[in-house]
Amino acid sequence: AIQLTQSPSSLSASVGDTVTITCRASQGISSALAWYQQIPGKAPKLLIYEASSLESGVPSRFSGSGSGTDFTLTISSLQPEDFATYYCQHFNSYSHSFGQGTKLEI
């Protein structure tokens, strides 16, 4: 099974900062990667699909890049509502595995 490793596990930042979260796959997965945001007590929210496509309604300060084994989620000009936990996810026809998560804290 393909393993996803996110780094860092936690990250401290301030409003207005730009941050980058990395997701590394144990083998090549083309662009079959998504990013989610989860606020405590809430369901996950899809941000990015196909590694770099922005989901409808998601602010443009969120961006994704990468293909193969290395992927990044970048959040520019952090807003107070962006402090949450972020997960990457690989998807194929028969599996939808997640990374372990990155907690973004003030």
Partner 1 sequence: EVQLLESGGGLVQPGGSLRLSCGASGFSFSRYAMSWVRQAPGKGLEWVSTISGSGGRTYYEDSVKGQFTISRDNSKNTLYLQMNSLRADDTAIYYCAKIYSALTTANPHDYWGQGTLVTVSS
Residues that bind partner 1 (CB under 8 A): 1, 32, 34, 36, 38, 43-46, 49, 55, 85, 87, 89, 91-101
Least Å from the CB of residue 16 to partner 1: 28
Q: What are the backbone angles phi and psi of residue 86, rounded to the nearest 5°?
A: -115, 140
CB atoms within 10 A of CB 9: 11
Q: Which is nearer to partner 1, 38 or 69 (CB)?
A: 38
Nearer to partner 1, 20 or 97 (CB): 97
| 34, β-bridge pairs | 89
Structure tokens at 59: 């602010």
- Min. distance of Cβ 32 from partner 1 in angstroms? 7
> Are 98 and 4 a contacting pair, CB within 8 Å?
yes
